[in-house]
Chains A and B, each alone.
Chain A
Amino acid sequence: MRVRRIKAIAVKEVLQVWRDPISLMIALLMPFMQMILLGYGISLDVKHLPVCVFDREASQLSRDLIKRFQASEYFSLVAGFDNYRDVTRALDRGECQLVLVIPIDFTERLSDTGTSAVQAVVDATDTNTANIAIGYAEAVVGGFSSDVQVEASAMKGGATDVVQPVDAQSRVWFNENLESRNFIIPGVVALVMALVGAQLTSLTISREWERGTMELLVSTPVTPMELMLGKLAPYFVIGLLDAVFCLAFSVYWFTVPFRGTLVTLFFTTSLFLIVVLGIGYLISTAIRDQVGAAQIGLLVTLLPTTLLSGYAFPIDQMPLPVQAITYVVFARYYVTILKAVFLKGSGFLDLGAPILAMIVYAGVIAYLAARAFRKQLD
């Protein structure tokens, strides 16, 4: 193996990427676009749900309750109605997610019997959001209800502090504000690496076949190993640069906490890059036209990374057979590591299992890639 030949191929590859606008765009612009799109586009947080109100009583008390909804950051009041027809229409049109209906005898029943009911009509097209909306609505009403109770007992001259017998005090770790962005963005790094790495390398050998440069290349003394190292080295560097960019963008733009060490991050990122680049290279040696190679590249890297890595869709909520499949999705291990490194500050010891899985994966792919290219026309 000669370093000079590896270097010659690497330099050539860099010049070609530099002069090819599409490759350059994939390398430099794609990470930026993905960060923006996925960083802003995907949010699992339910905030400022549009709420409509049909206040049939219009009393002091009912207005107090509505104000509670207004004050909550989970809801935004968008309209008030005075008949059921409008309520139905607003839900049909998707103008609001939830309609609060306060009965005509709300205050009266409350003072007479001590209890009263309000109705919440929820659009459950998206069951997840609907469940969350119901939960938040119950919390708001619950808060209102206990305040009413306190006030009522004060009026009667009783104790002003009604003590709840058991109070659950939850403390949230690792993502203290429950920002879904903090959960999603670390995984986006994996997505960017998978896309950039596999896209660029899947073209690298097929381009030589397609443009007719391979015939001359195989007539030189260059070895398959030199060819592979020379071709992948530039993309490895590009991948690491993209990783640095993604990290900086996550921390400084999206203010995702980074609690781990850079060493852990770059070690695991390097492993992930070896796998992604190796897969791209394998595809490239097997498929000799660039378009075909790029499509297969997307199919085997980006798709499983998006759907099965757990970057946005938690693996433990998937059906069991699908969960089993995720174990062969290499991105799963990297996403696990990324989230732990970003949010928990985990180190090598905490992440032994996923790191080992990635080392095995990288080893197998590197071995296959090194043997994939045969210096022959057929």
Chain B
Amino acid sequence: MSAPAAAQIEVAGLVKRFAGVAAVADLEFAVAAGEIFGLVGPDGAGKTTVMRMLAGVMPPESGRIVIDGIDVIADPERAKQHLSYMPQRFGLYEDLTVDENIRFYADLFEIPRRLRDERIGPLLAASNMAPFRRRLAGQLSGGMKQKLGLICALIHTPRILLLDEPTTGVDPVSRRDFWRILYSLRESGVTILISTAYLDEAERCTRLALLHQGRLKYCDTPRRLKQLMPGVLLTIASPDARAVRDTIAGLEGVSGVLLVGDGVRAVVDDEARRLPELRRALASAGVPFGAVARTEPTIEDLFVALLRQDEEAA
């Protein structure tokens, strides 16, 4: 968990309690310029609370947040000039049109009119929103609403972008538009902190932080995180997946048994030793099964395995 040089976002000792219950506890991480830093974790892990504190809209109990060299806790208003925050809940005015919403946020950030008009065109084009400029925001689809939110967040060309679950409930096409914009922003040097519940999306981040019960559990690049995978992920093809699951679920050294489309996936602690045991158990139970193959774990598999490991250790 080494802090990158020239950190754009620095968080240290961050604590937030709601009615005495810690929502965020002793959080520490740093994000370098040009990173797409992913914040992942189950619901209630504290992702939104972290985002709000970073955006300067919620004061933490203690700790330090420095964004672009500005102490957010001491001077949230100055930090707000440099960052853009997109809340999880759609925060734009549904009774205003796409254009009116964009102009409203441009005015709040005092973007000169000419500059604003120059920026709107490319942003609308990149998000395929150009035909909907006069439509009321309330009449947009979920994906289009999120893209409009992103346009409004980008109109003042922030150096830091805080996105709280921006693609939840967004269709795959809009999601792809969304990520294309994020990548092009990254190229222009914008630092992005994104929280997401979609773990396939997490793999697109440069680095990931796994948050659980307000604490940072793991933080590294997706590739290196996968090496933390305890054991080996196997996929067992079978016409009777349920029977396979019921047979192997209780075996020693086998965990995370999960039904998938054409079989069962399970994590074994020691492939060389458990694989023959598995085959034997299935054969003696008379359960039909086909190929047993090693599978590259996804981030989802990894996090489920890591969280389970932590729970067992606790």
Contact = CB atoms under 8 A, between A and B. Distances in A.
A59 to B, nearest CB: 77
A15 B95 contact: yes
B147 interface: no
A19 to B, nearest CB: 5
Contacts of A221: 77, 80-81, 108-109
A20 B95 contact: yes
B52 interface: yes
Given A221-B109, A222-B108, A377-B58, A216 B96 contact: no
A213 B91 contact: yes
Contacts of B89: 212, 215
A223 B80 CA distance: 11
A19 B95 contact: yes
Given A2-B110, A5-B110, A8-B107, A216 B87 contact: yes
Contacts of B87: 212, 215-216, 219
Interface in A166-218: 211-218
Interface string A1-38: 01011011001100110011000000000000000000
B105 A15 contact: no
A12 B108 CA distance: 11
Nearest to B78: A221
Contact of A211 (B56, B94, B104, B110): B94
Contact of A16 (B56, B76, B93, B107): B93
B110 A12 contact: no
Interface string A43-74: 00000000000000000000000000000000
Interface in A362-378: 375-378
A78 to B, nearest CB: 56
A220 interface: yes
Contacts of A218: 57
A12 B58 contact: no
B55 interface: yes
A376 B90 CA distance: 18
Contacts of B94: 211
A377 B57 contact: yes
B110 A215 contact: no
A15 B96 contact: yes
Contacts of B93: 12, 16, 211, 213
B154 to A, nearest CB: 13
Contact of A8 (B59, B84, B86, B104): B104
Interface string B71-84: 00000110011001
Best-buried of B77, B81, B87, B103 by chain A (most CB within 10 Å): B87
Contacts of B110: 2, 4-5
A219 B80 contact: yes
Interface of A: 2, 4-5, 7-8, 11-12, 15-16, 19-20, 211-223, 375-378
Question: Nearest 5 CB-CB pairs, A to B?
Answer: A216-B91, A8-B107, A219-B85, A212-B89, A215-B87
